[in-house]
């Protein structure tokens, strides 16, 4: 939806139409708060860009609580098994029977985004696609504004009471937060991520530890599977042929021992350098951050979208209290509350990075010990299950 008269003021201008921005927009709009979403991609790209699809139980509860879980309740599938493959054999954890006894829900992120966007537009929510936020100014005042370039190349200015940055690690919101301290960790690991038009080859999430590098298998639906292959830093996304990808997956997943992989054409590929990145604080005056703009997390444990949803709910509650009830306390506490969840997720994900990768013989010995504990110790399994599905 576009404003016929061009830029106009809003209570909250939201940057980014991902899970965080769209959930925040829905919750604010329902509370009667005038909000506007600016998204640099086209509507088709927003609805189709493939991302992770493992939703934590708390994410499902949040969406249920706000009546936004219809699509995932119809089409989502519960998932509760992960399988580890090593030189010592394989073992499977049914994590829904461990820890707090909760499964994941598999629902592709593009489907969730489509659901949230459809709901937001259906109730009159405002969104500008193909509109790139360039800068946020005046964040230290009560009248910040967003400078953005529209689809026609024209630059406009959107004033607001608050700006919510949900536009990712490289977005304008993060660049405009001068008081933030950046906590960064490069894990020194690179993955080639491929999306294959092929049915899953395992009935579990597959984690393969191999001396040639890590390999991962994650179902995205009955006909599409996500695979990961550890590769050299600096590898180009198109450097490996499809034959090489399938051959390397077969070796690392030990298809000769445990059954062949279902093959199909590669639909998408990308190279990921595993990094963790957290900003402190998440608020600077009238500018607040959520989602990847607040914290980037390695995909090892599928926490990114789940943190985004949790942060969006916390931020919505805080902004509603501030704008509707003149209660600034929750907004003042937002950063600390959100970061408590971020650091817990980061800690477990950091553990997963070291569980799945080793950089030296010493690391490899520690890795074998961790995997042995996970295979044989019920207390280790309960700890894993609780953190694996939690945020």
For 215-233, what is each residue's pLDDT tens digit? 999 988 789 899 999 999 9
One of 79, 104, 284, 341 is an active-site residue; which one? 79
Query: With bands split at pLDDT 50, 70 and 90, how would you rate the model's confidence at 9?
Result: confident
| Mean local confidence (pLDDT), 236-264 | 96
Query: With bands split at pLDDT 50, 70 and 90, how would you rate the model's confidence at 6?
Result: low
Query: With bands split at pLDDT 50, 70 and 90, how would you rate the model's confidence at 1?
Result: very low
Q: Is 120 a catalytic residue?
A: no
Q: Is 144 a catalytic residue?
A: no
pTM over 0.75: yes
For 183-207, what is each residue's pLDDT tens digit? 899 999 999 999 999 999 999 999 9
- Residue spans of the domains in the chain: they are 10-79+104-183+275-351, 188-274+361-388
Class of domain 10-79+104-183+275-351: alpha beta
Q: Establish how many alpha carbons lie within 13 A of residue 215's alpha carbon, considering only the half-sphere containing its beta carbon.
A: 18
Exposure pattern of 92-114 as b/e (b: 16+ CB <10 Å)?
A: bbebbebbeebbbbbbbbbbbbb
Q: Is 303 a catalytic residue?
A: yes
Q: Is 299 a catalytic residue?
A: yes
One of 107, 227, 334, 388 is an active-site residue; which one? 388
For 20-70, what is each residue's pLDDT tens digit? 999 999 999 999 999 999 999 999 999 988 777 889 999 999 999 999 999
Structure tokens at 14: 């939201």
Distances from the Cα of 279 to the Cα of 13, 56, 292, angstroms: 20, 23, 10
One of 104, 128, 303, 341 is an active-site residue; which one? 303
One of 207, 227, 228, 334 is an active-site residue; which one? 207
Q: Is 350 a catalytic residue?
A: no
Residues 6+ positions from 58 with CB-CB distance below 8 Å: 306, 310, 390, 391
For 299-320, what is each residue's pLDDT tens digit? 888 899 999 999 999 999 999 9
CATH architecture classification, 188-274+361-388? 2-Layer Sandwich (3.30)
């Amino acid at each position: 939806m576009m404003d016929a008269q061009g830029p106009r003021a809003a209570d909250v201008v939201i940057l980014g139409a991902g899970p965080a921005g769209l959930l925040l927009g829905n919750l604010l709009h329902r509370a009667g708060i005038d909000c506007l979403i600016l998204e640099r991609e086209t509507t088709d790209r927003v609805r189709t860009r493939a991302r992770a699809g493992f939703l934590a139980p708390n994410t499902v509860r949040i969406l249920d609580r706000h009546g936004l879980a219809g699509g995932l309740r119809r089409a989502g599938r519960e998932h509760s098994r992960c399988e580890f493959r090593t030189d010592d054999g394989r073992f499977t954890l049914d994590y829904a029977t461990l820890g707090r006894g909760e499964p994941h829900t598999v629902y592709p992120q593009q489907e969730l985004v489509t659901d949230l966007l459809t709901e937001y537009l259906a109730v009159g929510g405002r969104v500008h696609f193909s509109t790139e936020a360039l800068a946020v100014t005046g964040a230290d005042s009560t009248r910040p504004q967003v400078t953005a370039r529209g689809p026609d190349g024209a630059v406009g200015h959107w004033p607001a009471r608050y700006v919510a940055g949900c536009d990712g690690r490289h977005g304008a919101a993060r660049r405009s937060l001068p008081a933030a301290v950046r906590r960064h960790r490069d894990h020194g690991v690179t993955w080639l991520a491929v999306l294959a038009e092929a049915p899953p080859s395992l009935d579990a999430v597959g984690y393969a530890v191999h001396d040639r590098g890590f390999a991962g298998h994650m179902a995205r639906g009955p006909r599409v599977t996500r695979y990961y292959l550890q590769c050299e830093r600096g590898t180009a996304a198109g450097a490996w042929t499809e034959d090489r990808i399938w051959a390397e997956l077969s070796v690392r997943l030990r298809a000769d021992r445990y059954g062949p992989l279902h093959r199909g054409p590669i639909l998408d590929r990308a190279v990921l350098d595993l990094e963790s990145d957290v900003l402190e604080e998440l608020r600077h005056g009238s500018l607040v951050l959520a989602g990847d703009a607040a914290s980037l997390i390695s995909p090892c444990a599928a926490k990114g979208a789940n943190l985004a949803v949790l942060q969006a709910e916390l931020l919505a509650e805080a902004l509603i209290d501030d704008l509707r009830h003149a209660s600034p306390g929750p907004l003042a506490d937002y950063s600390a509350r959100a970061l408590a969840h971020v650091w817990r997720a980061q800690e477990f994900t950091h553990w997963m990075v070291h569980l799945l990768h080793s950089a030296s013989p010493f690391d490899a010995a520690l890795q074998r010990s961790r995997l042995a504990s996970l295979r044989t110790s019920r207390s280790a399994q309960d700890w894993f299950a609780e953190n694996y599905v939690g945020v």
